[in-house]
Amino acid sequence: MGTAIAGRGEVHHVHHDGDGPLSDTLVDAVASLTDTAPADLPPLDTRINVAALDTLWETDADRPTAAGCLTFTYGGYVVVVRSTGAVFLRETTDDE
């Protein structure tokens, strides 16, 4: 996982390399951005089905991964997860 810390309103990029669950990468990224321990964040399963998130783009080796994108909010961030392993995070605004 690589996280770039940036100012408010900027998009933060994390790449999930398949080492461990995608949900762990996401929670660790939000914890890093908010300077909060992962255990002190709200449970991710209050925002999304964690098992589904972790297996969303898993496929057999014989089949290519389907292209896709998933967007939701968590821990004060709008989260966009792409099937390529890219995760984008942007602080939510009052409108979101």
Structural domain of 72: 12-91
Position 5 scores a pLDDT of: 45
Torsion, Cα 54 56 58 60, to 10 degrees, reads 140
Position 60 scores a pLDDT of: 58
- Does residue 75 lie in a domain region? yes
Q: Please indicate whether residue 25 or residue 62 has the higher confidence score (pLDDT).
A: 25
- Does residue 77 lie in a domain region? yes
Three-state DSSP state, 78: strand
Where helices occur in 5-56 by DSSP H, the ranges are: 22-34, 50-55
Number of structural domains found in the chain? 1
Please provide the average confidence, as pLDDT, over all residues in the chain: 84
- Does residue 38 lie in a domain region? yes
Q: What is the pLDDT of residues 29-60, one digit of tens each?
A: 999 999 999 999 999 999 999 999 988 877 55
